[in-house]
A and B are shown apart, each in its own frame.
Chain A
Amino acid sequence: MIEVLSADRCISCNQCVKICPTNVFQEVENGIPVIARQSDCQTCFMCELYCPVDALYVLPNADGIEQVQESAVIENKLLGSYRERVGWGKGRKSTASDDESYIVFRRARGSN
């Protein structure tokens, strides 16, 4: 579930409020958005991809809340790690063009 919204990084663009499919974030007037409905998070990681400043961190645990510390997430270079891997963001190239599914499927069918 969504665990971290970094106040240091957030620029109040409210992109997360806009794109979260389960409406987890809440816009705050004259402030940064808040994680208002954490238990509604479906752990789809989409907010990380749409956050332009890598201020969000989703823990892959779908069923429980774990009180992750922001400092630990930063230390482990996890903020923005998924967006980087997908190749979204200024100056990056989408890694969709590196998709090697066709090799995986071929191997799965047993024809090398």
Chain B
Amino acid sequence: MTSHAETVNGELPHEPEKATLEGRNKILSFWLFLGGEAVLFGTLFATFLALRNQTNDGPTANELFQLPMTAAATLILLVSSLTSVFAIQAMHKHKVAALRVWLMVTVVLGLGFLGLEIYEFAEYVTAEKFGMTTSAFSSAFYTLVGFHGAHVAFGVLWISVLIGQLYKKGLTVVTAPKVYVSAMYWHFIDVVWVFIFTVVYLLGKVG
């Protein structure tokens, strides 16, 4: 009966996320899902690369992008990835309070990233007249970066719900896999961002 939550009360194992078959299945399947996500973002990147020079007399990448803003967003997301590593380490040491704090820091950083992105998009639309319908390049840009932004937004909501559950239920063999999987998701968002700042922003500047 190792897999049933209530039978593992008392001593929590070192890696509570892998204590039950359900937990291990969840982590494995999330990896499989991330494999699919790699194809999803790969196709979006492909679309962007195919259309990156089709600016239709609208602004070009070189005219639009400002490196300081991208650098700030990158730093925020990179730090948030590190804080979610700390969260998992706290979880392995069964320090629930520390775990919650690190998750909260991650959420706040995620919100910061989102705020920056919304500001950036608003700036493009209003000041640069660069909207979804401007050109094939604009459509591809908003779709790729927007998909990533939507992933960040979903992650922020998800981790927030988990923080609530950690208050209510504490760290158990049921909540631990959820936290672990959300951390995987968050790292993956950062991995995608590495490609976005390289391919979209930096290579856009290079031309």
- Whether both chains belong to one complex is answered with no
